[in-house]
A and B are shown apart, each in its own frame.
Chain A
Amino acid sequence: MDYLNALVAFANFVLVPGTAYGAQLALGALGVTLIYGILRFSNFAHGDTMAFGTMFVILITWGFQSAGISFGPLPTALLALPFGIALTGLFLIGTDKVVYQFYRQRKVKPVVLVMVSLGVMFIMNGLTRFIIGPNDQRFADGERFIISARDFKTMTGLDEGLAIKSTQGITLITAIIVVAVLFWFLNKTRTGKSMRAFSDNEDLALLSGINPERVVLYTWLIVAALATVAGTLYGLDKSFKPFTYFQLLLPIFAAAIVGGLGNPLGAIAGGFVIAFSEVTITYAFKKVGNYVLPDALAPDGLAQLLSTDYKFAVSFAILIIVLLFKPTGLFKGQSV
């Protein structure tokens, strides 16, 4: 019985990766939730928006790298991030002007807007594949580990190592900063307050003289920032592949819905709920079990609840369970 080693193994394989993944999902879900709250539709193109923004970041990163610009121990992608956000923002605003504005003015049913977002999804997906190709792209540079498993072992003398990749640390810190800025913006600034007012009650907001097009503009800009940051962090942490980003749609929506669609706080909670459930349920607990349990009870198999490929099933199952018991999510979301 060795609780300390068990704890380290658990932290290494569940806690640390789960936290990073949760932060990435939370940022993605925040974007989905903002569009739902303010523009009032489920944006199916969000996964591809993330891929699209990340693609800009990657291209700029490559440019920087070949020009010899680097960010010391940090990935160069962080330097490229603001440019990526700006380009994605421009693209999203352009999309809104060319595509969404027309339907908004006609006050079509939300489900029509969802279909329109399907069309946008196709185009963004096609553009991404057209520009950067469908293959895996690696663009992480800088220091690989904050602490590597071997260092950890020599430092503590434990059998289990704890590795924290620098991308995981960066993910968490960036996510905290982004969320803090977002909440400051929504709660303290005039534009943020008008966005919240618009989300709560559109008619009342219009009556009090809030310019809806301005609100929409800011929403797309914020969504561009959130999507690009989330996509870049995910790409740094794992790898960039357009199809993977498209597949992220399900856990992101699951996170937003579990938290309560339209509720930013819920999106963050939802992101971590989904991430940790996915990681814990598909993690093989054999190692942890071997440390904690007496030899007679040590597990024979992998002690894995579900195979890793079922992680989407986990997001979805949690989604259904939450919806059955709390139809508007954990935090009260909108039920338009």
Chain B
Amino acid sequence: MTARDALLFVFVGCLIIGTGFVQSWNSALLILNMGLISAIMALGVNLQWGLAGLFNVGVMGFVALGGLAAVVTSMPANAEEWSVGGVRVIFGLLLGAGTIIATIMLRQRMAADRARNLATLVVLIGGFFLFRAVFDPGVDAIESVNPAATGYLGGLGLPVLVAWPVGGLLAAGAAWIIGKTALGLRSDYLAIATLGIAEIIIAILKNEDWLSRGVKNVVGLPRPVPYEIDLQNSESFVERAAGLGLDPTTASTLYVKLGYSILFAIVLIILLWLAQKALNSPWGRMMRAIRDNEVAAEAMGKDVTARHLQVFILGSAICGIAGAMMTTLDGQLTPGTYQPLRYTFLIWVMVIVGGSGNNLGAVLGGFLIWFLWVQVEPIGLLVMQGVTAGMADGYWLKDHLLDSAAHMRLLTMGLVLLLVLRFSPRGLIPER
């Protein structure tokens, strides 16, 4: 880390601390917490793009899978739903998986001819209808149990911190399947493929109510930190808050947010340390060699496809961990809110602006861009108020400009991305 890099980090730190002084410490901690999560997502994308040159625009999908992990790990199991259809649904899913495995085995065993194609079709179509016949009644039974409150299978009831690695595993599993089918494709095709996968994952989360309650949302996820109300009712906490000159309500919200910050910071530091180790290891050098010249690396005996799959899985797993952390922070899974602009393309802006190929750069980009994303809206509103100050109240242009200030953030992000790509394509902290 050079002095310049350190200065950049200090600068972003000052931005966040400045938020604390100018707006409120609660907003500052909110930005810090999402900044920590964004930095982790950016680390994952940087591993894939900066280190290996894989263009993954399905970040949203892996983040959402992490969110699902938080639900299936930490929510209590719903006994009634399990008894009416749980086994049936699981059996249906196994049938579905069996169909796919049978198809793959069939295609490997039989000679490539018309008979093989026919057999593939028969297995696939027959398997699909068999799967639906077993699966659908189970789903209907589960979803009709108390749909206003539950109507889904629930989870394992484990502590929510366990969900973070589980989120990573879930994302890694999905990445393995995607990588197996799509990594052989050239870069643009991979991009479209990952974009599609992310949409499919969101569609599943939105529609498979038995799994995730769909758009009815799972609320009230368990927390790794105490509840504000408990803190306010604890005498010793109120006393200590008074000692610091804070009122108990503010003190409790700050305490909870700080608790999250510490947990997230621990995860970020561990992952950053691992990523730095990987970058400076023989493995990292090999990845960069493959990225810079695939043909030469292959000639040197490196298994390019296997290495790509490996790094794709690792990067996606990191995004999955971040996704689980984010859902934990929110305390709820809301599949309807996942949008590619926010969860895929914004992460990409972070990586490119921060400096692709440099882990510290990605982390810096995560904090900086998240800060901008949050603050551009109030700043935009201020600018618009300045621009429209001379206009008469009720003038259509004034109202329109003030209303549209909220959309300034997309414009700003695009502008930042284009400016960096043009004038500093290696980012704020370039690769070394």
Binding site for B on A (CB under 8 A): 36, 41-42, 99, 102, 110-112, 114-116, 118-127, 129-131, 133-134, 246-247, 249-250, 253-254, 257, 261, 301, 305, 307, 309-310, 312-313, 315-316, 319-320, 323-324, 327, 335-336
Tell me if B135 counts as interface (CB < 8 A to partner A). Answer: no
Selected A-B contacts with CB under 8 Å, 13 pairs? A36-B188, A111-B188, A121-B414, A122-B411, A122-B417, A126-B411, A126-B414, A129-B410, A257-B189, A305-B128, A309-B207, A319-B196, A323-B185
* Secondary structure call for the B interface: helix
Bound-state Cα–Cα, A307 to B197, Å: 17
Query: Which residues from A are CB-within-8-Å of B404?
Result: 129-131, 133
How distant is A246 from chain B, measured CB to nearest CB, in Å?
7
Bound-state Cα–Cα, A130 to B418, Å: 19
Do A313 and B185 touch across chains, with their CB atoms under 8 A apart?
Answer: no
When C-beta atoms are compared, the residue in chain B nearest to A118 turns out to be B345
Most chain B Cβ neighbours within 10 Å, of A112, A126, A315, A323: A126
Bound-state Cα–Cα, A72 to B132, Å: 50
Bound-state Cα–Cα, A320 to B207, Å: 22
Given contacts A126-B409, A130-B404, 16 further A-B contacts (CB under 8 A): A41-B188, A111-B187, A114-B187, A118-B417, A119-B417, A122-B349, A123-B418, A125-B341, A126-B411, A126-B413, A246-B340, A249-B195, A319-B192, A323-B185, A327-B185, A336-B186
Do B55 and A114 touch across chains, with their CB atoms under 8 A apart?
Answer: yes
Partner of A250, one of B128, B186, B199, B415: B199
Do A115 and B410 touch across chains, with their CB atoms under 8 A apart?
Answer: no
Partner of B193, one of A120, A309, A319: A319
Given A119-B421, A313-B199: A320 and B193 within 8 A (CB)? yes
When C-beta atoms are compared, the residue in chain A nearest to B409 turns out to be A126
Identify which of residues 217-274 in chain B touch chain A, using a CB-to-CB cut-off of 8 Å. Answer: none
Do B414 and A114 touch across chains, with their CB atoms under 8 A apart?
Answer: no
Given A133-B403, A309-B207: A250 and B196 within 8 A (CB)? yes
Query: Which residues from A are CB-within-8-Å of B408?
Result: 126, 130
When C-beta atoms are compared, the residue in chain B nearest to A116 turns out to be B421
Do B418 and A99 touch across chains, with their CB atoms under 8 A apart?
Answer: yes
How distant is A221 from chain B, measured CB to nearest CB, in Å?
22
Identify which of residues 294-324 in chain B touch chain A, using a CB-to-CB cut-off of 8 Å. Answer: none
Do A130 and B411 touch across chains, with their CB atoms under 8 A apart?
Answer: yes
How distant is B406 from chain A, measured CB to nearest CB, in Å?
8
Binding site for A on B (CB under 8 A): 53, 55, 128, 136, 181-182, 185-189, 191-193, 195-197, 199-200, 203, 206-207, 340-341, 345, 348-349, 352, 403-404, 407-415, 417-418, 421-422, 425
Do B411 and A253 touch across chains, with their CB atoms under 8 A apart?
Answer: no
Given A102-B422, A118-B348, A123-B414: A110 and B200 within 8 A (CB)? no
Bound-state Cα–Cα, A7 to B244, Å: 78
Most chain B Cβ neighbours within 10 Å, of A118, A123, A129, A131: A118
How distant is A119 from chain B, measured CB to nearest CB, in Å?
4
Bound-state Cα–Cα, A257 to B187, Å: 13
Query: Which residues from B are CB-within-8-Å of A320?
Result: 181-182, 193
When C-beta atoms are compared, the residue in chain A nearest to B422 turns out to be A102
Partner of B407, one of A119, A130, A315, A335: A130
How distant is A324 from chain B, measured CB to nearest CB, in Å?
7
Query: Which residues from A are CB-within-8-Å of B341?
Result: 122, 125, 246
